[in-house]
Structure 1
Amino acid sequence: MAVTNQHVSIYLICQLVCGAVFPGRPVANMVFVTYGYISSAQGIKFCADLKLGHYMKIPPRILFKVQMVATIVSSVTQIAVLNWMFGNIRGLCTSEALNGFICPIARVHFNGSILWGVVGPGEFFGPNAIYRPLVWCFLVGAVAPVPLWLYSRHRRDSIVRKINLPILLGSLGWIPPATGLNFSVWALVCYLFNHLVKHRATAWWAKYTMTLSAALDAALASGIVVVFFAFIFSGLTDNFHWWGTEVFKQGCDWQACALRAVPEGGKFGPDTW
């Protein structure tokens, strides 16, 4: 996180560990992930805020107090908003939900608790299991950065020095719920700010890029609230169509198209597990 500003997720690791320790207990799996992964991820984000405040010469004690107040306010606000959504948005967290409120992250969290909490890792990676060879990927991932480091340590101008396998491989942890559209947009923004702007306006990039990132996040959250209540919830966008909405809804990112479909009467996987 300190080197790349990217957090390598331990989400799946927590699910696997808890599935092995507490088999058949999906609620225990969700609780374990909450305390094991979500707490550490939020802690790292708090440290990132403190780091940004350090750059902006904000006293750390004052910033910490602001963080605590914001944590309390946001916790109460999120619970209140969640209860309001369940009572006012039809089909929330279902495939028929209005305006795309299908809760992809929550569904992944729930499905993961069923896979690793109820079914258990042993059914997937145990002896004679169908996905047993994938366990070797842990060793491959641990060893893979070494040859890159050996090759590039004396080649300062080599592009290999810019390859970060933990980030490349760790980013796949966002799939699902992230789609190809998410990754393409992330790559475009990263290239724009961390390559073009960094090389053409280095002083501006060094001084303002982190502040701009926080400002864009805040503006996005504020804009979503305004657009939702002003246009969507009020009904102004009902039956509103233009070429952008039509093209977007024809894509697989919106329709959740499968790469390969199971034929009618068929099934996924071997005849016997």
Structure 2
Amino acid sequence: ENEKVNFAYYFFFVLSIQFLGFGLAGILRRFLVWPCEVIWPQNLPLIAVLRTFHDRQSTITEKSYGNRANSLKERLINNRLLFFIVISILSFVYEWFPLYIMPILAYFSWMCWISPKNNALAQLTAVRGIAIAGGGLTLDWYEVTRYLGSPLILPGWALINIGFGFVLIVWFIVPIVYGTNIRDFTTLPIGGQVSTDFTALSLVTAFISFASITAVFVHTLLYHGIDIWQQFRTKTLENMGNDMHARMISLYKTVPDWCYLELFSLALIVACVTCDHAQWLSWYYVLLSLFIGALFTLPFGLVSSITGQLLHNLSVYYLCLLIGQSLSLQKSAKQIYTFIALGYIVYVQTLVLIQDMKLAHYIKIGPRPLFAAQCLAGFVCSTFSIGIRYFYIQSGYKKDLWSIFNNTKLGWTLLNDYNGFFDGTNLSNRDLLWAFILGAFIPIPSWILSRFKRFHWLNKLHWPLIFVTIGWMPSIVPAGALFTWLAIGLIVYFSFGKYSWRQRHVYLVSAGLDLGLNITIIIVSTALKNKSVYFPQWWANQNQNTTVYDSCQKAVQTW
């Protein structure tokens, strides 16, 4: 009987998270779905694939004369379906090397091979160092896009912003901080992943992660404040001006706001009752965590919808963890992670559902069928998700296959690092709170200067985008992976941006690479590695018992 009660707790908790995000997404759709300025570039590859399946011929020449009139190259460029299939096959074949045959490609610190015993060279050039001059690359599409997504879909100005931030912060500020030897940094790797100690890179990225929290609010107020006020006064899609998509979708029957409000209220009651009755979290902490998640949804949602980044950013996660620690919730693992789930996961769930709403907006799915489909999908996915997890837990299966951020390690490491933020017992960590002041101030000078015609280009300077993207390092995204991600995006943008075929095919390239990768992952993980079938050992896969094959181990070793 006890096990049934526990399952009910888990089921209603997961279900409430789904529908809290759904209700909040519906409330915010006038800001993050209806305006034409919110593009959501993440949807464009899927739209390109759907269009390809329905319209193979893309030029007048092909429609008039057929493929026989074209050369092989022209046929490949003109036939989008053929192009997509070829890219998918090439990706499928190539990914066998970094995922199975030659894992060393995933962390390819080629410059370290020049002098394998040189500590300084390893720290400065390796993938898990700071990857100066591209000395460490990630030649695996999975590692490149695992958390940051595809670099091919981002606007050029967004890539330039991130590139500027990477050079400024990682290649200039981090070595300066390392050289000052604060906290005996010189006895640790400059950018390696060390259990509970701050390295120079992790300290700087933690600082800018906190800075992004206030920077995104100030940036949103300065650059989008007037637009938000206008959208707040907009009641229906008919008042959205001359946007083609809004005019067409307004012909469908809409879903009233009260439907989303009732759904959100019901899910809130379920969450409060479940958490309080299960003694996971008091109801007032439930309200606090939801307030934190809802507070960040609009500003970070605006940035994500325009730049294609920040959907799963760590700033909100860190803040929920920090506030939970300050409330002494870390005494219970269930309490601290319940607080994070209701704050961070609801925030992410809301943005994911808003992104889906924008996809439906583009491909003209009516609001009411979409509402029904998302409700049904939320219920079914919650049921299967908690059912599978509950089955594994009850069967004694210990392997954590569904963890994305490795929450236990990251969370408790963070609690150890940030212990004493508010009680004054650890002033060196408490100094990081100056990041909030820096984040609130730094967007203001560029905004003021951008008012002048001579400095109008500063309109494109986006500090929240820079801070949050760089903040992934080094715990989640190594410096070499981010450098490779940037290099791919910028090379494609500057090399092929002026050609019309690139505009038509770049999203198909992104989708094809993802499709080939996913097929390879399924085969390798289920049919081979799950059965303990490994590729014969050779120099490029000597470490069979590790998940990271880095050719430069000195980059992460303590000196």
**TM-score normalised per structure 2:** 0.37
CA RMSD of aligned residues (A): 4.0
Residue 225 (1) aligns with residue 522 (2): yes
Cα offset for 1:22?
Answer: 3.1
Quick check: 70-79 or 18-27, which moved more?
A: 70-79
**8 Å contact kept, 2:421–2:430:** yes
Write out aligned runs for 1:23-172 (5 A). Answer: 23=329, 24-75=331-382, 76=384, 80=388, 92=399, 105-106=405-406, 109-115=407-413, 121=418, 123-124=420-421, 126-127=423-424, 129-155=427-453, 160-172=458-470
Match in the other structure for 1:268: none
Q: What CA distance in whole angstroms lies between the structure 1 residues aligned with 2:405 and 2:536?
A: 28
**8 Å contact kept, 1:125–1:131:** no
Q: What CA distance in whole angstroms lies between the structure 1 residues aligned with 2:421 and 2:530?
A: 44
Query: Residue deviations 1:234-267, cap 9 Å, x none?
Result: 4553425474x46982435xx6952644xxxxxx
- Greater Rg over alpha carbons, structure: 2
The 1:217/1:45 distance shift into structure 2, 3 A limit, reads: farther
- Give the match's secondary structure for 1:58: coil
The 1:134/1:81 distance shift into structure 2, 3 A limit, reads: closer
Cα offset for 1:53?
Answer: 1.9
Cα offset for 1:177?
Answer: 2.0
Query: Residue deviations 1:149-178, cap 9 Å, x none?
Result: 222333477654433110111123323122
The 1:87/1:246 distance shift into structure 2, 3 A limit, reads: farther
**8 Å contact kept, 1:124–1:131:** yes
Match in the other structure for 2:306: 3
Q: What CA distance in whole angstroms lies between the structure 1 residues aligned with 2:395 and 2:454?
A: 58
Cα offset for 1:186?
Answer: 2.5
- Give the match's secondary structure for 1:233: helix
Residue 16 (1) aligns with residue 343 (2): no
**8 Å contact kept, 1:26–1:116:** no
Cα offset for 1:34?
Answer: 0.5
**8 Å contact kept, 1:15–1:112:** no
**8 Å contact kept, 2:321–2:336:** yes
**TM-score normalised per structure 1:** 0.69
Query: Residue deviations 1:172-209, cap 9 Å, x none?
Result: 3323122123312331343255555544338835x973
Give the number of aligned pairs: 245
Q: What CA distance in whole angstroms lies between the structure 2 residues aligned with 1:151 and 1:52?
A: 36
The 1:54/1:208 distance shift into structure 2, 3 A limit, reads: farther
Match in the other structure for 1:271: none
**8 Å contact kept, 1:86–1:92:** no
Q: What CA distance in whole angstroms lies between the structure 1 residues aligned with 2:496 and 2:370?
A: 29
**For residue 105 of structure 1, what is the amino acid of its counterpart?**
F
Q: What CA distance in whole angstroms lies between the structure 2 residues aligned with 1:25 and 1:120?
A: 18
Quick check: 35-44 or 123-132, which moved more?
A: 123-132
**For residue 6 of structure 1, what is the amino acid of its counterpart?**
Q
**For residue 144 of structure 1, what is the amino acid of its counterpart?**
I
Q: What CA distance in whole angstroms lies between the structure 2 residues aligned with 1:40 and 1:219?
A: 30
**8 Å contact kept, 2:405–2:476:** yes
